[in-house]
Structures are given as C-alpha cells and as structure tokens.
Amino acid sequence: MQLAKTAGRNASVAKYDILTALGAYALARNKHDQRLVLRLMTLITARYNWARNELAVGQREIARLWSVDERTVKREMAKLRALGWLVVTRQGARGHVTEYRINKERLLAATQDTWASVGPDFDMRMQGQPESERIVPMPSRGDIAAPDISDGQEWSLAQALLHAEDPNTFGSWLRALSRVERAGGRLTLKAPTRFHGVYVQTHFLGRIVTACQAVDGDVTEVIVRD
C-alpha cells in the first residue's frame, strides 16, 4: 500500500484520498463508528497541518467544533488513539496542547476493504499500482451531447476532439471546464471546484494539452484553476 505524500506535488489529491477513504469506510459501518469518523474528518479538515503532519488543538476547541463537552472529546480521542489512527507526538503540558499526527498506514489499512466501493481507479491508486490503464469515469446519464463549436475558439474545438475520443470521460470531467483567457500560448481553464481542478490536472492535463495543440499549434501550456 502506497499513498502519495501529503505535501508537495499532488498533495491535494492525497489529502482528498485520505478523507474519501475515511468517508467510504464510515458509510459501511454502524452509526457509532460513523459519528466517530465524522468527528475525525471534521477535525482533520478544520485543523490538521498537512505541511508539518501535525494536529495541535486543545480539547476545549475540539469540544466547540464537535458541539460536545470535553469529557466526550477525551473519550473519542482515546478511541482514535486506540485504533492507531492518531499518534501522540508531544504530550500536553502547562501552556501546551497535546500534539498528534495521523498514522496513515494504520488508517488506510483499516479502510482498505471499502476502497473498491469508491471506484476501480481509486482502489488502484491507493494500492500504489501504476495508473496506466484507462481511468474509469464517473457514470453519466444518457448520451453525452457533443459540445457547441460555433464560437470557433480553441477550447471549444479541443472539447469536440475530447468528446469524440471518450464521451464518458468528457461528460464526467472535461465538459465542466470553462475557458477563462488566452495569453500568448497559455490557455487558462476554470474548474467548478478545487477537487475537480486537482483531479483534472492529475489525470487529464496531458490529454487536454494534446487536444488543444491539435486544433491550435500555438498553444504551449494549459492551466486549470478553480
């Protein structure tokens, strides 16, 4: 099992992968486990320092975030430590809160059985297998209509090529990208969400650049932002 580092290139995807693994695991469990995992996911999203691989937050602040009392915080944090998902790196003392880090290996080992529920591409990536095979797109309903190319812009024409190549992937990931601007050889596209943009950059950017250059040889770079 091998997951990309949560700092540096592709860090955003790795963080989303951890949260996705936790969410899929929780949805397959009972309501008590679901509540514990939801609390952990909220804590990670709100307060985890990915650059330092550190969670440093006091029990009073956690209680406020979770809408519970500090006794419940102590009990739930003890459960997370017992599972091995959180590891104490510095015990709290006067003037200092207890510091933790996520034990990614233990967390991912616990959630592995539910990876396939997310999708084959997710399961393959989480296992560290090369993603050389065609990525399985999210399901799309009905036939995917070809894009309108009446404006004659390079992105519209490139979308037509991408649609012809793989309608499902186009409908799932590429149709939602909108043209922002063109500055010289650089074309800027906008994704509807941060996750969408990161995923497109990770999996489809090369395909997008190739399509754009096929219709406009002056395109040298494509930027996808949210």
List, for residues 44-72, the tens digit of each pLDDT value. 999 999 889 999 999 999 999 999 999 99
pTM of the predicted model, to two decimals? 0.56
Token couple for 76: 């739930």
pLDDT-derived band at 118 (thresholds 50, 70, 90) equals confident
Mean pLDDT of 134-159: 78
> Mean pLDDT of all residues in the chain?
87
Annotate 18-32 with b (16+ C-beta within 10 A) or e (fewer). bebbbbbbbeeeeee
| Residues 117 and 163 reside in one and the same domain | no
The answer to whether 173 touches 159, Cβ cutoff 8 Å, is: no
| Residues 109 and 177 reside in one and the same domain | no
Angle in degrees, CA 218, 223, 226, rounded to 5: 150
CATH of the domain at 178: 3.30.300.180
List, for residues 27-43, the tens digit of each pLDDT value. 999 999 999 999 999 99
pLDDT-derived band at 130 (thresholds 50, 70, 90) equals low
Q: Which domain holds residue 182?
A: 154-225
Domain boundary among the residues 78, 107, 126 is at: 126
Comparing C-alpha atoms, which of 137, 105, 107, 104 is closest to residue 120? 137
List, for residues 2-32, the tens digit of each pLDDT value. 454 554 444 555 788 999 999 999 999 999 9
Q: Are strands 86-90 and 55-56 parallel, antiparallel or unpaired?
A: unpaired
